[in-house]
Amino acid sequence: MRAESSATDAPRIAVTTERDRPGFGTLQAALGVIAFSLTFPATAWGLEGFGPWSLVAVRSVLAAVIAGGALLASRVPPPARRHWPGLAVVAAGVVLGFPLLTTLALRTSTTAHAAVVVGLLPLTTALFSALRVGSRPSRTFWTAALAGAAAVLLFTVRQSGGALTTADMYLFAALLVCAAGYTEGGRLARIMPGWQVIGWALVLCLPLTAVVAALALAQEPVRFTAHSVAGLLWVAAGSQFLGLVVWYRGMAAIGIPKASQLQLAQPLLTLVWSVLLLGEHLTVAAPLTAAAVLVCIAVTQRARG
């Protein structure tokens, strides 16, 4: 009992200190968004040399090794028993569900089309937050959030032609499981440091992901190229661990609904990376949508929940 008490008391002091600096929390959440915006292009690179199941499983294993090493080096005791169900939700949503579903979608979808997921994710996360942790954002907040989501959705759907495909079903399912994982992770980040939340979630999945990685690598062909290796390393270290570390810390500092609205900029960032890294082409609507999204973000950050 003594170990559990000390394991939760110390992190709570650290989290409270971060919450006293909302500007720093906003910066951390924004860094998380930048990291996530590279996920789809990096996944597309990874799929050049790995099968979808291999890519998802190996990225999770590598991220778990990094996280487990950090937990061991810091001598972090295991979380209290009451926190493990929440960590399981985080694991199912952001460690397993979202990476697998979006990777399956990106086999036939462009990164521009897949950006519709992150365009709707802020609104979905805010809805999950209202249901799970009882947050009640203001009417102004919801109006701006809906306007921003509509702008991003319109832009990305027009880019892709608006036809619903099997990839769309994967993307919409990914949207739901990721919002649940973000919400639960943001709640837990108020109790323990954000890096420990994603760290324990990754470690929790390691027995499963290690087995799946071994089976997938034996069945799916692997071709090592500069793109495939770089893509794998980024989605493992950048998207799956470091990005979630700063993201959960940011959510703990400024609140789940406001942090989630920063993700309105993520689809546009993804489109920029798609042009630079994948050679995809953008329409003239991109800067107009970017301006609308930035206005919505400013409103949501000023609105009181």
Instruction: Decide: 256 and 129 in contact? Cβ < 8 Å.
Output: yes
* Rounded Cα gap, residues 153 and 285, in angstroms: 13
pLDDT tens digits, 229-238: 999 999 999 9
Q: What pLDDT does 42 receive?
A: 95
pTM beyond 0.85: the answer is: no
* Rounded Cα gap, residues 299 and 293, in angstroms: 10
**Residue 304 DSSP label:** -
pLDDT, greater one: 54 or 6: 54
Residue 8 pLDDT > 50: no
Hey, how many other C-beta atoms are within 10 angstroms of the C-beta on 131? Answer: 11
* Rounded Cα gap, residues 57 and 73, in angstroms: 24
pLDDT, greater one: 202 or 1: 202
**Residue 74 DSSP label:** T
pLDDT, greater one: 4 or 24: 24
Instruction: Decide: 54 and 287 in contact? Cβ < 8 Å.
Output: no
Residue 249 pLDDT > 60: yes
* Rounded Cα gap, residues 176 and 98, in angstroms: 9
Give the rounded percent of residues in the chain with a pLDDT score beyond 70: 90
pLDDT tens digits, 49-106: 999 999 999 999 999 999 999 999 999 999 999 999 999 999 999 999 999 999 999 9
pLDDT tens digits, 149-192: 888 888 877 766 776 788 888 998 998 999 999 889 888 988 88
Residue 279 pLDDT > 90: no
* Rounded Cα gap, residues 78 and 89, in angstroms: 17
* Rounded Cα gap, residues 179 and 181, in angstroms: 5
Instruction: Decide: 182 and 94 in contact? Cβ < 8 Å.
Output: yes
Tokens read off for 233:
């390393």
Nearest to 250 by CA among 198, 205, 209, 299: 198
Q: What pLDDT does 6 receive?
A: 40
Tokens read off for 214:
């071994």
Q: Provide the b/e sequence for 254-263 (b: ≥16 CB within 10 Å).
A: bbbbbbbbbb
